[in-house]
Amino acid sequence: MTKLSSATPRRVVFQYFVPVHVEVEDGFVCTVTVVDETPVKYPTVVEGNADYLEEAAKAADDGQPWPSWQFGY
C-alpha cells in the first residue's frame, strides 16, 4: 500500500453510541440532548476510507471537554 502525503484530503464519517436525553411532551419529542463528552468507543465507518478510521476517531476524541448539544424548542 502506498503511503499518502499529508496534503491528500481524507474524509471519514463514523458513528458510535452516545448517551441521549429525550424529552417528550404530549406524545411529541420536544428536546433531544446529545451528551458528546462520551469517549469514542467501537466506531463504525459510515462513509469514506476505513483505513483512516483509527486516526479519525483519535482526532475526534482528543480529550476536549465539549458541551452537550440540544435540539428542539
What does the alpha-carbon distance between residue 69 and residue 39 come to, in Å, rounded to a whole number? Answer: 15
**pTM of structure:** 0.56
What does the alpha-carbon distance between residue 47 and residue 13 come to, in Å, rounded to a whole number? Answer: 5
All three cell numbers of 11:
474524509
What does the alpha-carbon distance between residue 44 and residue 9 come to, in Å, rounded to a whole number? Answer: 20
**Which residues are within 8 A (CB) of 32 and not within 5 positions of it... i.e. 6 or more apart?**
20, 21, 22, 23, 70, 71, 72
Express each pLDDT in 6-43 by its tens digit.
Answer: 667 778 888 888 888 899 999 999 988 887 777 788 99
What pLDDT shows up at residue 2? 45
Domain range annotation of the chain: 12-72
What pLDDT shows up at residue 70? 62
Per-residue pLDDT band at 61 (split at 50, 70, 90): confident
